[in-house]
Chain A
Amino acid sequence: MVRSFLIKKEVDIYYNYFFVAMFFIDIYRAFKFAWQSFWRNFWLSIVTITIISLALISVSLLLSFNLITANVLDIVQARTEIYIDLTDQAKTAQIDFLVNELNRVPDIKEVVYVTPDQTLERFKATYQDNELVIQSLESLGTNPFTGSLRIKVQEIDQFPVLLEEISKPEYSEILEIDNAEFYQARDLITSISSYSDKIEGFGFGISIFFILISVIVVFNTIQMGIYSHREEIGIMKLVGASNWFVRAPFLIEGVLYSVVAILIVLILFYPIAALIQPHLDNFLGEYTLDLVQSINQNIWLVLALEIGIAMFITVVSSFLATRRYLKV
């Protein structure tokens, strides 16, 4: 009996059936192969995992730094209060009206009327260590302060809106506007933001550097794996192993490196955070942040970021290596 060839249409049907049916058989074998390769090149695997871990740690530090800066900025902003002095002519009804009006402006968080006595107390508290100022104040015999308005804005950037609001002609009679306090607060925020941007840029650069190094290292590890299995791979291709069957073990090997690296980073993170925390408290003082608690609150973001980056590193490099060295 003479056997004729399958035609392409039949091959298509054969292919679809085969792909689904063999997927589960293949995946077990691919995992087994990847596991063996992982242990066979043990030291190379250790180096690869270390590099991926370093990339993940640098990304985690960058993320922690972002959380810390955001926290500091929030605290500074929340504490920024601007006092606007009222003139002598300001009457209680006018003040009440102004307070109500300003409280209605969406960008303003809170407006509180501070009486002259309260202003005096605040002044004394501020300059309690400066005897000369206190003595000068007492020598006046009267309270030189007028009342003032204590204003908090939602966002410090919205200060021009507030300035525009209080600069209306109808308030000119009762308000003495000094922009200096606005600018001081804004400059502080700008300065923190600017430093944080620079550090963030540096951290970002370091992370990209480690990610690129990781891609190269994983690429080389997979390439070595392919090289040490070249005979087997050549035969596989010759006897008709599917492309997936040949490539999958190497892709899975890459994913295996990622998983181990993520676990290591997660295990190391808490001791590292505990080690950094006292230094962070010293440096930031009242602006400090509880790192562990903060990361716990953002755990899904942290996990998603780490898994995303680890998968990016290994899948991209394994894919490139298998594509380059496993041409079918």
Chain B
Amino acid sequence: MISIKKITKKYGSDYYALKDVSLDIQSGEFVSLVGQSGTGKTTLVKLIIAEEKPTSGRIIIGGWDITKIESYEIPYLRRQIGVVFQDFKLLPKMTVYENVAFALQTCGAKKRKITDTVPQVLKIVGLDNKMDRYPHQLSGGEQQRVVIARSLVHRPKLLIADEPTGNLDSINTKEIIDLLLKINEIGTTVLLVTHNREVVNNLKKRVITIDNGEIVSDQERGRYLL
């Protein structure tokens, strides 16, 4: 469970990216975090993955207060949180297999674990037949699926997808959202950050709306309000 308590993030002396934000996410939930550009959605993601520290307030993940996290603990938090961004962040000189394996290599995984895990996650995202391709040989949707596969190699408890469909057409968008739902069904909590109205309205899942750094709505089976 994620518990965010009265989080404020201030940049400079008077700009509030987030103001007094509080919310709870239960394990296994699929939550959409919506709002227009620049309303503080990505700031909240950065706080959850400890890329930034809040000005005030607390974020507790599984009983672990990550606002007090030590530098050496951050990697171990991130291995439990898969992150998918709009810009795919794939290494162009590595194949699909190598890009996914890289996430395990950098964490010191043994060869055996890599050769077992990588094909499994590539199968989940439906790219087990394109393991030897390079990113430029894939469509946008496929590239995003490689990123999702990479975020799954540590079997994360939480998957945060920050505008994962921002660069995709409607067909690829549907494929990615279906994949996120599939991942949620196998037990992973999913936090989808988006401003895609159609995606949110079709999901019929919990929707949290942020506007000007504040939560303006939190609905169980919500719709895109803004």
Indicate if the CB atoms of A240 and B75 lie closer than 8 Å. Answer: yes
State whether A241 and B187 are in contact (beta carbons under 8 Å apart), knowing that A2-B28, A4-B157 are contacts in the complex. Answer: no
Would you give the shortest CB distance from A298 to chain B, in whole angstroms?
A: 42
Binds B, one of A18-26, A109-117, A173-181, A286-294: A18-26
Interface string of A1-37 (1 = CB under 8 A from B): 1111111100100110010011001100100000000
Per the bound structure, the CA–CA distance linking A232 and B102 in Å amounts to 9
| Chain B residue nearest to A235 in the complex (CB) | B89
State whether A245 and B108 are in contact (beta carbons under 8 Å apart), knowing that A231-B91, A234-B89, A328-B71 are contacts in the complex. Answer: yes
| Chain B residue nearest to A21 in the complex (CB) | B108
Indicate if the CB atoms of A3 and B27 lie closer than 8 Å. Answer: yes
**In the complex, what residues of A have CB within 8 A of residue B74's CB?**
243, 328
A186 at the interface (CB under 8 A from B): no
* Residue in A21, A235, A242 whose CB lies within 8 Å of B72: A242
| Chain A residue nearest to B186 in the complex (CB) | A1
**In the complex, what residues of A have CB within 8 A of residue B78's CB?**
237-240
Would you give the shortest CB distance from A33 to chain B, in whole angstroms?
A: 11
Binds A, one of B32-40, B59-67, B126-134, B208-216: B59-67
Indicate if the CB atoms of B154 and A3 lie closer than 8 Å. Answer: no
Interface string of A22-56 (1 = CB under 8 A from B): 10011001000000000000000000000000000
Total A-B Cβ pairs within 8 A: 108
* Residue in B91, B106, B188 whose CB lies within 8 Å of A245: B106
B79 at the interface (CB under 8 A from A): yes
**In the complex, what residues of B have CB within 8 A of residue A234's CB?**
89
Per the bound structure, the CA–CA distance linking A239 and B103 in Å amounts to 6
Would you give the shortest CB distance from B221 to chain A, in whole angstroms?
A: 19
State whether A11 and B1 are in contact (beta carbons under 8 Å apart), knowing that A2-B28, A240-B154 are contacts in the complex. Answer: no
Indicate if the CB atoms of B75 and A238 lie closer than 8 Å. Answer: no
**In the complex, what residues of B have CB within 8 A of residue A237's CB?**
75, 78
B-side residues, CB < 8 A to A, are 1, 27-28, 49, 61-65, 71-80, 83, 89, 91, 102-103, 105-108, 110, 150-151, 153-155, 157-158, 186-189
A-side residues, CB < 8 A to B, are 1-8, 11, 14-15, 18, 21-22, 25-26, 29, 231-232, 234-243, 245-246, 328
